[in-house]
Amino acid sequence: MVDLERIRAETVAYFRSLDENATLRHHFRHSDEEGGLWYIEAVPVHGELTVIKQAELTSAGRLHRYSWEHLDDEHGGLTDQAIDPEVDPLETVSAEEFRRVWTW
């Protein structure tokens, strides 16, 4: 039987470690089909960019934040897929812009 609590604890520990030990961070914004904006903070891991924080600002003005501190809820969750700015429709934003949305 799968131990979901252990898996969740390991996932939290992994993303927390990435966040706390990051020396280089990348910040992006993405628009979705419903008019919402997604803000992403990612760090390089083994040649890929792993998302450690993401914030969705919905077209209705609601903010949903995901990180190791809050992996998921009924609205969504922190992606487990690496991102590729060369392929994914992402716009680079400043760390300040990301922080402004993150702490809103």
Mean pLDDT value of segment 55-75: 95
* pLDDT for residue 1 is more than 90: no
pLDDT at 49 over 70: yes
Residues 6+ apart with CB under 8 A from 45: 18, 82
pLDDT digit string, tens, across residues 10-41 = 999 999 999 999 999 999 999 998 899 999 99
Q: Confidence band (pLDDT; 50, 70, 90) for 86?
A: confident
Q: In 3-state terms, the chain is what percent helix, strand and coil (to 5)?
A: 25, 35, 40
pLDDT at 45 over 90: yes
